[in-house]
């Protein structure tokens, strides 16, 4: 006897009881012969097609690309950062006209040469650490005052033409520079 979850006792069904549900006893053996013929050309084509489809299904998903491969590569290239090209931002006149003392020194240095946040002479003159100079350069870059480009693993900053043109227009620097 077996107990189920409900707590009822269930009796196993005997072989005699089971045989009453079927016309033939369970112990009978079916002796029908199955005739196996040679595979036809149609069967061989079906087997080959099935094998090919099964192979495609089992391939890693990275090798099965749907869509235009050239389009996929162009879309992926859009999201990659272009480290060697200059990034340009629109000049913010408000930021240029309200520079702090440190930012003014950075802009003056960037007018004459390219600078890096690791520039030892500039770090010593400003009495700040590299991280702070990097923040200043990035702020001026996003304001369109400095342009940035990668040289190896370093970012080099210089004064943008639009910032220089604005300084000339204000009469802060000479036009022949």
pLDDT in tens, 127-172: 999 999 999 999 999 999 999 988 888 899 999 999 999 999 988 8
The predicted pLDDT at position 50 comes to 77
pLDDT in tens, 65-82: 556 777 777 777 777 655
Closest C-alpha to 160, from 141, 145, 143: 145
Mapping DSSP onto H, E and C, the string for 57-99 reads HHCCHHHCCCCCHHHHHHHHHHHCCCCCCCECCCCCHHHHCCC
Q: Residue 114 burial by CB count (10 A; 0-12/13-18/19+): exposed, middle or buried?
A: middle
The predicted pLDDT at position 71 comes to 79
Q: For the chain, first and last CA: distance in Å?
A: 105
The predicted pLDDT at position 83 comes to 53
Average pLDDT of the chain to the nearest whole number: 78
The predicted pLDDT at position 135 comes to 95
Asked whether residue 105 is assigned to any structural domain, the reply reads yes
The predicted pLDDT at position 61 comes to 55
Asked whether residue 140 is assigned to any structural domain, the reply reads yes
Asked whether residue 22 is assigned to any structural domain, the reply reads no
Asked whether residue 152 is assigned to any structural domain, the reply reads yes
User: Which band of pLDDT confidence, cut at 50, 70 and 90, is reported for residue 86?
Assistant: low
pLDDT in tens, 93-110: 999 999 999 999 999 999
Asked whether residue 87 is assigned to any structural domain, the reply reads no
Q: Give the separation between CA 153 and CA 118, rounded to whole angstroms.
A: 12
Examine the pLDDT at 30 and tell me if it is beyond 90.
Answer: no
pLDDT in tens, 3-17: 545 555 656 666 565
- Higher local confidence (pLDDT), 48 or 162: 162
- Residue-wise DSSP of 2-54: EE-TTS-EEPPPPHHHHHTTSSS-TT----PPPP-PPPPHHHHHHHHHHHHHH
The domain containing residue 163 runs over which residues?
A: 93-169
Query: Any idea what the CATH number is for the domain that residue 122 is in?
Result: 1.10.10.10
Q: How many domains does the chain have?
A: 1
Asked whether residue 28 is assigned to any structural domain, the reply reads no
């Amino acid at each position: 006897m077996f107990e189920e979850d409900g707590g009822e006792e269930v009796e196993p069904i005997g072989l005699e009881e089971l045989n009453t549900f079927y016309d033939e006893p369970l112990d009978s053996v079916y002796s029908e012969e199955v005739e196996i013929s040679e595979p036809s050309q149609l069967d061989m084509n079906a087997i080959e097609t099935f094998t090919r489809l099964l192979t495609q299904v089992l391939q890693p998903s990275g090798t099965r690309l749907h869509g235009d491969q050239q389009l996929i590569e162009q879309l992926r290239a859009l999201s990659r950062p272009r480290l060697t090209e200059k990034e340009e931002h629109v000049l913010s006149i408000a930021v240029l006209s309200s520079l702090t003392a440190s930012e003014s020194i950075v802009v003056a240095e960037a007018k004459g040469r390219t600078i890096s946040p690791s520039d030892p002479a500039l770090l010593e003159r400003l009495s700040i650490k590299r991280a702070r100079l990097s923040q200043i350069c990035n702020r001026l870059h996003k304001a369109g005052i400095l342009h940035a480009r990668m040289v190896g693993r370093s970012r080099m900053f210089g004064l943008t033409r639009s910032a220089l043109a604005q300084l000339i227009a204000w009469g802060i620097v000479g036009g022949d520079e």
